[in-house]
Structure 1
Amino acid sequence: MTEQFSFPALLQMIDERSAAFRAAVAAAPSLDADVPSCPGWTLYDLANHLSEGDRFWAYIVLNTAPGDERPSKDGKTAPREREALIAWLADSTEQLINALREAGPDRGCWAWWEPLASPHTGAGVARRRVPETLIHTYDAQLASGAPQELPTTEAVDAIEEFLATVCTVTVPWPHEPATMDYHAEGAGIWRQTVDAGGSRFTRLTAAEAAESKPTAAVYGTASEMALLMYMRIPNASLRMEGDADLLQRLQNGG
């Protein structure tokens, strides 16, 4: 089962995935290339989005506190010439990492998610930025025509981070209570439970998963599971058992 990474390890992952993103931008035939997994976006749009996010969160971890109003973005856009864009991306990543390092893992800050399973701290932000950069690197690779399987270590944590940050909420589930099990081959099993109390998750051992019958279960590699959660691959591409409609309802927020 996955364990959360140390703060320095998270910063290193952000740095490594950001470098992979820049490599995909450098290799793409054009900055105007469509991004198939982000309909309506070009590779430039994707790069501008990622760099804007890095700079936005760099400001947040140093200048906000939990419960503050959502800060405004600075409105700056990335340059459109490729060499200058790559330099801008590198500087954006450096700003984020330096801000996180200065703030440290325990400093509180504003965040959009409920602090039930993912804290409003520098560590929470760092952990959120890893899959953000990981998935958008995959997007950029698609645009350049050379998508790669997600690194297993980052993919496994992306699964749990998604369940913790995006899915753990107190918003009531508007249907009958249900459980969805996510089986990442050789990497871990997670159960998402939805009911009137909202949505939450637990890790399962293989024995625990075998002893109970979830409403539905989905099976794939860690890379496939993370891409599925971020809706980068179709649901039908993974093996599913049980209520085939549950995953779609979860993806639609009910």
Structure 2
Amino acid sequence: MAMDYADYGAGLGAAGTVLRSNAMSAGLETPVPTCPGWTVRDLVVHQGMVHRWATDVIEGRGMGDGKEHEESGRKADDLLDWFDEGWAGVLHALGSAPADLDVPFFLRTGDSPLVGWARRQCHETVIHAVDAMAARLGRTPGGEELWFSAELATDGIDEVVRGFIPRKRIGKLRSIEPLTIMIETTDTGAAWTLNVSEEPTTTVIGGVDSPDVRLSGPALDLYQALWNRGGGIDDPSGFLAQWRRDVVIEWA
């Protein structure tokens, strides 16, 4: 299901371009409707900080809290130039790292550290480029307005449900009565089953015949929905309301 390593670099590069151009068009003080309480300035500072933080890890300087990078963004004379430097830095770090890169990686998806960091930075930048687009549009963009492929979106869904959901800090999805949640893309043929109970949620690749909850739709819409960015998907049980409450992925 995972894309090629080179695809992640291409996805990260394209997403940086989209984020920057939409941030410039929207203006730095414009609210970001998909990130309540943030302006475009906050969004660009955050993304530039994450790029620098990831570069530090990839280049062996350890996994800090990113505060010094956030502060440098807040003080930058030209914030978009500052963003460009961090974006170019993480692309260079990924492009020059060895295949057997030996650094920490925090998602247990089975990816090597090099592929894991490329994948994470790709999707991190893609979803925040969606946010920048939302700021320019004043609303969540529809799937038909997005620039990336259904295959990339499918890979991003996989990262959410197999990488983030099982994490103790993120995975707060619980149910007194056991639930099976089937997530399926209607265009790329991918499916996952989440087993939800009072214990940490587990995820397996593939669907089941009679899930308690079914969330389905085109991969681009499903990707946005599972990242709590809207998206028109089929949710007959109304389960997304619980998802939005219990699945909150944020910087800590």
TM bucket normalised to smaller:
0.7 to 0.9
Q: Which amino acid aligns with 1:133?
A: T
Aligned pairs, how many?
234
CA drift of 1:174 comes to: 5.2
Structure 2: tracts of 5 or more residues without a match: 248-252
TM-score normalized with structure 1 length: 0.81
Give identity over the alignment, percent: 20
Maintained 8 Å contact 1:64/1:109? no
**What's the CA shift string for 1:4-50, capped at 9, x where partnerless?**
1222221111111111111112222x210000111111111101111
Change over 3 Å in CA distance of 1:99–1:78 after alignment to 2? farther
User: Which residue is equivalent to 1:142?
Assistant: 134
Maintained 8 Å contact 2:16/2:87? yes
2:114 is the counterpart of 1:127: no
Rounded Cα–Cα distance in structure 2 between residues aligned with 1:178 and 1:140 = 35
Q: How does 1:192-231 map to 2 (within 5 A)?
A: 192-195=194-197, 198-204=200-206, 209=208, 212-231=209-228
Maintained 8 Å contact 1:178/1:193? yes
User: Which residue is equivalent to 2:64?
Assistant: 71
- Per mean C-alpha deviation after superposition, the further-off stretch among 225-234 and 53-62 is 225-234
Maintained 8 Å contact 2:162/2:204? no
**What's the CA shift string for 1:160-207, capped at 9, x where partnerless?**
111122113467945222111112121122222223552232332xxx
User: Which residue is equivalent to 1:240?
Assistant: 235
**What's the CA shift string for 1:125-161, capped at 9, x where partnerless?**
1111111111111110111127333522321111111
CA drift of 1:52 comes to: 0.7
Rounded Cα–Cα distance in structure 2 between residues aligned with 1:120 and 1:196 = 31
Provide runs of 4+ in structure 1 moved above 3 Å.
Answer: 78-81, 169-174, 247-254
DSSP-derived class of the 2:53 partner: helix
DSSP-derived class of the 2:59 partner: helix
Structure 1: tracts of 5 or more residues without a match: none
- Per mean C-alpha deviation after superposition, the further-off stretch among 71-80 and 11-20 is 71-80
Maintained 8 Å contact 1:64/1:110? no
User: Which residue is equivalent to 1:87?
Assistant: 81
TM-score normalized with structure 2 length: 0.81
Rounded Cα–Cα distance in structure 1 between residues aligned with 2:111 and 2:201 = 16
User: Which residue is equivalent to 2:56?
Assistant: 59
Over aligned residues, Cα RMSD in angstroms?
Answer: 2.6
DSSP-derived class of the 1:181 partner: strand
DSSP-derived class of the 1:252 partner: helix
